[in-house]
């Protein structure tokens, strides 16, 4: 082949290669943007779940404290007095008159 034929062959293929490279770059840019958006959404979701987990931990601690209190004698006495109306033998129950 002569030199002119080689140059023509290179020149004919150049626009196709440039088009393919531009398409590839555009696709990579779009994929990068979608991954960035997904990353932000997952970060927000992670923060929300972390906050919820913290509040649930606080609730768990409160329930554990309530459970400890419910096992005490003082709690049992309060329940017996308020719900069952029980009193100690030496106690006198005074109820106000309803008008």
Say which residue, 58 or 80, is predicted with more confidence.
58
Structure tokens belonging to residue 58: 């606080």
The pLDDT tens digits for 20-42 are 999 999 999 999 999 999 999 99
- Are residues 86 and 80 in contact, defined by beta-carbon separation less than 8 angstroms? yes
d(CA 14, CA 20): 10
- Compute the C-alpha angle 66/95/84, nearest 5°: 40
The per-residue pLDDT of the chain, averaged, comes to: 87
Q: What is the pLDDT of residue 63?
A: 97
d(CA 47, CA 44): 5
Tell me what the mean pLDDT of segment 68-96 comes to.
86
Structure tokens belonging to residue 36: 């960035």
């Amino acid at each position: 082949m002569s030199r002119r034929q080689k140059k023509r062959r290179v020149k004919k293929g150049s626009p196709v290669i440039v088009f393919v490279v531009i398409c590839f770059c555009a696709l990579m840019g779009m994929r990068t943007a979608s991954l960035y958006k997904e990353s932000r959404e997952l970060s927000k979701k992670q923060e929300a779940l972390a906050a919820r987990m913290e509040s649930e931990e606080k609730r768990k601690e409160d329930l554990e404290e309530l459970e400890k209190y419910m096992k005490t004698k003082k709690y049992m006495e309060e329940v017996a007095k308020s719900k069952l109306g029980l009193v100690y033998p030496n106690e006198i129950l005074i109820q106000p008159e309803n008008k």
